[in-house]
Chain A
Amino acid sequence: MINNVHFSQYIPPTDMHYVVGTWSQAAGQVTGTIAKHKTANAETAVVTVPIAIPSNSVALNGCKLASIELDYELMAAGATSVTAVLNKVVRGIEGEVAVVTQPAITQDLVAGVAAATQDQHRLKVTLTTPVWIDNDEEYLCQFSFVCAGVVTVDILGAVANFTFRA
């Protein structure tokens, strides 16, 4: 049996979901990197990171999600806040809607303070209780960027940290 607590999965900006704001694919600020770029506008943009790691129909097998890190840059000015929410989505059976709950998390950079400065950021979201992912579940980590009219945002990527057991 494998039980390795040190696995991670890179999730590129092209695999994320963007609502509100004008987003485009652009070269990153560092040559050779890639980003999804938000133009300046006063609005709350929501970036959702789908945690695309394996699940398993047997309890205590597959992946136990521990934390998620988002790499992003705020340019021209700081944001008002950057706030993370983790949504656990239990898929509906045929004919039924999905059910969403929000597991308890902490984010290491305070939403309206350290997470919102004009700078390069690595924001870590840690599950209070790491979870084994069932095959009928998916996890979506949602980041709300509350922006005034000047700030622009680059999303560089994310990394999910997990235990893999099989």
Chain B
Amino acid sequence: MIHNTHFAQFIPCMSFHASTATITQVAGAVAGTIALNRAAADQTSLITIPITIPSNSVALQGSKLVSIEVDYEIFTAEPTSITWTLNKVTRGIDGAVAVVAAVTKTNTVADAAAKTVDQHKQVITITTPAWIDNDEYYLLEMAIVAGAGGGTEKFLGAVANFTMRA
């Protein structure tokens, strides 16, 4: 049996989902890196990161999600706010909608510090790490209230940290 608490999965920026935003794929600010660029606009954009790690139909097997790290940069001007929501989505059976539940978590970078013009690594830690069932998946949502003075943001990628057991 494998029981390894140190697995991590890089989630590239192309897998991120954006709504209410003008997003383009660009070179990162550091040569050789890649990024998604959000154009400056006075709007509230939702950037959602799908947590693409294995699941398992047997309890206490597969992946136990512990934390998610998000690498991003803010340029030119601070947005009004950035807030983080981790959602567990339980898939619907045929003919039924999915059910969404917010997951309790903490952020290592405080809200005020996480929106400064700078490079950021925000770590979202789940209060009670969870084994992922095959009928579930997790989405980390980053709501950016840009405000009139908001600048651009670049999203470099994310890393999901988890225990793997099989």
Alpha-carbon distance between A15 and B137 when the two chains are bound, in angstroms: 15
Report which A residues bind B (CB closer than 8 A).
Answer: 2, 4, 6-15, 25-34, 52, 71, 109, 114, 119-123, 156-157, 159, 161, 164
Alpha-carbon distance between A9 and B61 when the two chains are bound, in angstroms: 13
Known contacts A4-B166, A10-B55, A34-B17; A120/B96 CB under 8 A: yes
B46 touches A71 (CB 8 A): no
B19 touches A26 (CB 8 A): yes
Alpha-carbon distance between A120 and B18 when the two chains are bound, in angstroms: 22
- Is B26 part of the contact surface with A, judged by Cβ < 8 Å? no
Known contacts A6-B61, A71-B91; A159/B52 CB under 8 A: no
Tell me the chain B residues, 79-103 only, with Cβ under 8 Å from chain A. Answer: 85, 87, 89, 91-100, 102
Closest to A123 in B: B94
Alpha-carbon distance between A52 and B10 when the two chains are bound, in angstroms: 14
B48 touches A159 (CB 8 A): no
The 6 closest A-B pairs by CB, nearest first: A12-B50, A32-B100, A8-B134, A10-B137, A32-B87, A34-B17
B18 touches A25 (CB 8 A): yes
Residues of A within 8 A of B1 (CB): 2
B52 touches A10 (CB 8 A): yes
**Tier of interface size on chain B:** 35 or more
Closest to B134 in A: A8
Residues of B within 8 A of A32 (CB): 85, 87, 89, 100, 102, 139, 141
Alpha-carbon distance between A150 and B14 when the two chains are bound, in angstroms: 30
A122 touches B139 (CB 8 A): no
Residues of A within 8 A of B61 (CB): 4, 6
Question: Can you add 13 more A-B contacts, CB < 8 Å, to A25-B19, A109-B94?
Answer: A2-B2, A6-B57, A6-B58, A7-B55, A8-B134, A14-B50, A33-B87, A34-B17, A34-B139, A119-B95, A120-B98, A157-B137, A159-B134
Residues of A within 8 A of B102 (CB): 32
Alpha-carbon distance between A119 and B95 when the two chains are bound, in angstroms: 6
A-B contact pairs, 6 of them (CB 8 A): A6-B58, A8-B62, A12-B17, A12-B137, A25-B18, A120-B98
- Is B56 part of the contact surface with A, judged by Cβ < 8 Å? yes
- Is B72 part of the contact surface with A, judged by Cβ < 8 Å? no
A121 touches B17 (CB 8 A): no
A121 touches B95 (CB 8 A): yes
B48 touches A122 (CB 8 A): no
